[in-house]
A and B are shown apart, each in its own frame.
Chain A
Amino acid sequence: MANAAVATAGAVRPLRYGSISRDRKWALRWSYFFLTLFAIFFLMPPFYMLITSLKPKEEIAAITNPWWVYAPTLDNFIELLTQNAYMTFFRNSAIVSVCVVIVTMLISVIAAFSLARMKFWGSATLATGVFLTYLIPDTLLFIPLFKMMSWVRDTTGIELVNHWWTMIILYPTLTVPFCTWIMIGYFASIPKELDEAALIDGATWMQTLTRIFIPVALPGIIAATIFCFTVSWAQFLYPLAFTTSTTELVLPVGIVTTLIKGDVFNWGQIMAGALLGAAPPLIIYAFLMDYYIAGLTAGATKG
Chain B
Amino acid sequence: MAQVSLRKVIKKYDEVLAVRGVDLDIADKEFIVLVGPSGCGKSTTLRMIAGLEEISGGDIAIGGDVVNDVPPKDRDIAMVFQNYALYPHMNVYENMSFGLKLKKTPKQEIDQRVRAAAGILDITELLDRKPKQLSGGQRQRVAMGRAIVRDPKVFLFDEPLSNLDAKLRVQMRTEIKKVHQKVRTTTVYVTHDQVEAMTLADRVVVMNAGLIEQVGTPNDLYHSPATKFVAGFIGSPAMNFIPCQLEQAAGALRVRLSDKLSFPVPDGRTARYTSNVGKPNLILGLRPEHIAETRPHIEPNQHDFDQVIEVVEPMGMETLVYFTLAGAEVCGRVNPNAGATAERSMKLRADLSNMHLIDDTTGKVL
Q: Are A216 and B87 in contact (CB under 8 A)?
A: yes
Known: A200-B50, A201-B102, A202-B99. A193 touches B83 (CB 8 A): yes
B160 to chain A, nearest CB (A): 12
* CA gap between A211 and B101 in the complex, in Å: 12
A22 to chain B, nearest CB (A): 38
Q: Are B78 and A200 in contact (CB under 8 A)?
A: yes
* CA gap between A198 and B146 in the complex, in Å: 11
Q: Report which A residues bind B (CB closer than 8 A).
A: 191, 193-194, 196-203, 207, 211-212, 215-216, 218
Known: A196-B52, A196-B79, A207-B102. A202 touches B85 (CB 8 A): no
* CA gap between A241 and B103 in the complex, in Å: 53
Chief secondary structure at chain A's binding surface: helix
CB-CB contacts of B101-114 with A at 8 A, as 1s and 0s? 01100000000000
Q: Are A200 and B77 in contact (CB under 8 A)?
A: yes
B51 to chain A, nearest CB (A): 8
Chief secondary structure at chain B's binding surface: loop
Known: A193-B83, A197-B79, A199-B73. A215 touches B102 (CB 8 A): no
Which among A191, A193, A200, A215 has the highest number of chain B CB atoms within 10 Å? Answer: A200
B333 to chain A, nearest CB (A): 40
Q: Are A216 and B89 in contact (CB under 8 A)?
A: yes
Name A194's contact: one of B73, B85, B146 (CB within 8 Å).
B85
Query: 3 tightest CB-CB pairs across the interface, nearest first?
Result: A193-B85, A201-B99, A202-B73
* CA gap between A212 and B87 in the complex, in Å: 7
B67 to chain A, nearest CB (A): 13
Residue B81 at the chain A interface, CB threshold 8 Å: yes
* CA gap between A211 and B95 in the complex, in Å: 12
Residue B98 at the chain A interface, CB threshold 8 Å: yes
Q: Report which B residues bind A (CB closer than 8 A).
A: 50-52, 71-73, 77-79, 81-83, 85-89, 98-99, 102-103, 146, 150
A217 to chain B, nearest CB (A): 10
A221 to chain B, nearest CB (A): 13
Q: Are A191 and B99 in contact (CB under 8 A)?
A: no
* CA gap between A202 and B99 in the complex, in Å: 6
* CA gap between A211 and B99 in the complex, in Å: 12
* CA gap between A212 and B103 in the complex, in Å: 16
Q: Which residues of A contact B98 (CB under 8 A)?
A: 198, 201, 203, 211
Q: Are A200 and B79 in contact (CB under 8 A)?
A: yes
B189 to chain A, nearest CB (A): 16
30 A-B pairs within 8 Å (CB atoms) are namely A191-B83, A191-B85, A193-B81, A193-B85, A196-B52, A196-B79, A196-B81, A197-B79, A197-B81, A197-B86, A197-B87, A197-B146, A198-B87, A198-B98, A200-B73, A200-B78, A200-B79, A200-B99, A201-B98, A201-B146, A202-B73, A202-B103, A203-B73, A203-B98, A207-B102, A211-B98, A212-B87, A215-B89, A216-B88, A218-B89
Q: Which residues of B contact A207 (CB under 8 A)?
A: 102
Q: Which residues of B contact A200 (CB under 8 A)?
A: 50-52, 72-73, 77-79, 99
Residue of B nearest to A215 (CB): B89
Q: Which residues of B contact A216 (CB under 8 A)?
A: 87-89
* CA gap between A201 and B52 in the complex, in Å: 12
A128 to chain B, nearest CB (A): 21
Which among B77, B87, B103, B146 has the highest number of chain A CB atoms within 10 Å? Answer: B87
Q: Which residues of A contact B146 (CB under 8 A)?
A: 197, 201
A101 to chain B, nearest CB (A): 23
Q: Which residues of A contact B51 (CB under 8 A)?
A: 200
Q: Which residues of A contact B79 (CB under 8 A)?
A: 196-197, 200
Q: Which residues of B contact A212 (CB under 8 A)?
A: 87
Q: Which residues of B contact A198 (CB under 8 A)?
A: 87, 98
Q: Which residues of A contact B85 (CB under 8 A)?
A: 191, 193-194, 196-197
Residue of B nearest to A207 (CB): B102
Q: Which residues of A contact B50 (CB under 8 A)?
A: 196, 200
Known: A196-B52, A207-B102, A216-B89. A201 touches B83 (CB 8 A): no
Residue of B nearest to A194 (CB): B85
Name A201's contact: one of B73, B81, B88, B89 (CB within 8 Å).
B73
Given A191-B85, A196-B72, A200-B50, 15 additional A-B pairs, CB 8 A: A193-B81, A193-B85, A194-B87, A197-B79, A197-B146, A199-B52, A199-B71, A199-B73, A200-B52, A200-B77, A200-B79, A200-B99, A201-B99, A202-B73, A215-B89
Name B72's contact: one of A191, A199, A211, A218 (CB within 8 Å).
A199
